[in-house]
């Protein structure tokens, strides 16, 4: 009947590169013996023993309500607020912590809470797979701003130029997937000034949505500073799935600093949005274990050493690469323009990477440092051979 594009097809189109990759001949090699898997931020080693023990303890029911309906449990809110107060130096209010079933849901809930149909959200490219989908899914209009390779710096002036009277939020992801950049406080401060001026001009708040799932995965002794420290109207979204490397157990949160204007109104909107998003709260079990989960982490030092090794090796082979300040990811330039074809060539050598095209970084490919050291051993010769073969076929 309708001649317009269906809503669900617009959603599907926004994730088409993701869908294509996961039904591609590259990903199909996932379970072949000997594959070195650098494609996604999934565990390549057994779960943290402390994680399994913590859940085992939390599983033993202490009362009849152990597995009853759970919203944001007060002990979860308190544990998160304590951490955030310690990290930011602000007195975080537990009531401003909305526990969600993962960081994915935290973003879905955030956009539902703040967007009216037609409101614009500026997001930065290369983006995470699903930003555009989640903005569309809440009735918003995604507005893309590109980060310039090879450095991918946050540029407040370019963002300022993309802001209109309909802009409701700017979505920033730092530490940034896939570039590994951790944006410096100066850039965030400048962005805060841009957003404050835009809020004033527009007559309503322009939020900074700070997607921070990697905020504890930082290297070289860095301290992560949340944009919430620089700009009051910051909404922080977080996932425990990175630090615990257990992304199949969904827990995360949306939270706002004590400096947020109209905190109570936003708190109520977030609650209604959690309901409208199909009861977007974490399972009881994960909330019972929250103090342990807050304290646990994979070995970030091991990730850093793996970064050092991979970056040095790839550069030694002649690849241009980022040198990530945080996250799980190294971006490297493919020796040919067609990163999908290069990803295919690597896959034929038993090395799985994420072609940059999937995350709007054509000509690049992404390597996840969640691969095991043994996969690095096995994979490095593949990177060398694929590069040599590609250059051989390409006249200089």
352 sits near a second copy (criterion: CB under 8 A): no
The position carrying tokens 């850093």 is 304
Binding part of the chain for a second copy, among 4-12, 306-314, 319-327, 354-362 by CB under 8 A, reads: 4-12
- Which of 78, 141, 162, 269: binder of a second copy (CB under 8 A)? 269
Residue 224, token pair as written in the block = 């992560």
- Is residue 360 within 8 A of residue 176, CB to CB? The reply is no
- Which of 25, 28, 32, 56: binder of a second copy (CB under 8 A)? 56
* Sequence-distant contacts of 41-47: CB under 8 A, at least 24 apart: 41/177, 41/242, 41/247, 41/328, 41/329, 41/368, 41/370, 42/247, 42/368, 42/370, 43/245, 43/246, 43/370, 44/370, 44/371, 44/372, 44/375, 45/372, 47/245, 47/246
Q: State the DSSP H helix or E strand holding residue 328, giving kind and residue range, or none if neither.
A: none
Binding part of the chain for a second copy, among 84-92, 136-144, 227-235, 349-357 by CB under 8 A, reads: 136-144
Residues 272 to 311: which contact a second copy by CB under 8 A? 272-273, 275-281, 283-286
51 sits near a second copy (criterion: CB under 8 A): yes
Reported as half-sphere exposure (CB side, CA atoms, 13 A), residue 42 has a value of 11
Minimal distance in Å, beta carbon 72 to a second copy? 12
Angle of helix 300-317 relative to helix 373-393, nearest 10 degrees, comes to: 20
44 sits near a second copy (criterion: CB under 8 A): yes
204 sits near a second copy (criterion: CB under 8 A): yes
Total binding residues toward a second copy, as defined by CB under 8 A: 73
Minimal distance in Å, beta carbon 391 to a second copy? 34
Residues 325 to 344: which contact a second copy by CB under 8 A? none
89 sits near a second copy (criterion: CB under 8 A): no
Binding part of the chain for a second copy, among 67-75, 85-93, 297-305, 345-353 by CB under 8 A, reads: 67-75
Minimal distance in Å, beta carbon 30 to a second copy? 10
Radius of gyration of the chain (CA): 21
CB atoms within 10 A of CB 349: 16
């Amino acid at each position: 009947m309708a001649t317009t594009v269906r809503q669900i097809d617009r959603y599907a189109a926004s994730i088409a590169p993701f869908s294509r990759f996961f039904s591609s001949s590259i990903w199909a090699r996932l379970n072949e013996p000997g594959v070195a898997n650098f494609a996604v931020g999934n565990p390549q080693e057994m779960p943290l023993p402390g994680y399994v023990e913590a859940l085992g303890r939390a599983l033993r029911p202490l009362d009849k309500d152990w597995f009853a309906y759970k919203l944001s449990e007060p002990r979860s809110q308190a544990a998160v607020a304590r951490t955030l107060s310690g990290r930011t130096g602000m007195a975080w209010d537990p009531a401003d912590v909305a526990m969600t079933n993962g960081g994915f849901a935290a973003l879905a809930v955030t956009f539902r809470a703040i967007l009216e149909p037609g409101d614009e959200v500026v997001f930065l490219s290369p983006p995470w797979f699903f930003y555009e989908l989640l903005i569309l899914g809440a009735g918003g209009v995604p507005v893309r701003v590109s980060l310039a390779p090879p450095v991918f710096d946050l540029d407040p002036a370019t963002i300022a130029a993309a802001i209109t009277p309909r802009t409701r939020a700017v979505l920033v992801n730092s530490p940034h997937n896939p570039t590994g950049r951790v944006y410096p406080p100066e850039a965030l401060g400048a962005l805060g000034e841009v957003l404050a001026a835009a809020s004033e001009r527009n007559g309503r708040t322009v939020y900074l949505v700070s997607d921070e799932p990697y905020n504890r995965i930082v290297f070289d002794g860095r301290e992560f500073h949340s944009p919430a420290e620089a700009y009051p109207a910051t909404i922080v979204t977080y996932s425990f799935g990175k630090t615990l490397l257990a992304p199949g157990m969904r827990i995360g949160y949306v939270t706002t600093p004590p400096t947020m204007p109209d905190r109570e109104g936003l708190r109520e909107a977030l609650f209604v949005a959690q309901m409208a998003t199909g009861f977007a709260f974490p399972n009881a079990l994960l909330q019972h274990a929250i103090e342990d989960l807050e304290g646990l982490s994979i070995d970030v030092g091991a990730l850093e050493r793996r970064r050092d090794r991979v970056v040095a090796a790839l550069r030694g082979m002649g690849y241009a690469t980022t040198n990530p300040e945080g996250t799980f990811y190294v971006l490297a330039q493919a020796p040919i323009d067609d990163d999908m074809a290069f990803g295919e060539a690597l896959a034929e050598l038993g090395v799985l990477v994420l072609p940059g095209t999937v995350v709007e970084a054509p000509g690049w490919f992404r390597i996840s440092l969640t691969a095991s050291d043994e996969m690095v051993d096995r994979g490095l010769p593949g990177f060398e051979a694929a590069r040599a073969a590609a250059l051989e076929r390409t006249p200089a």
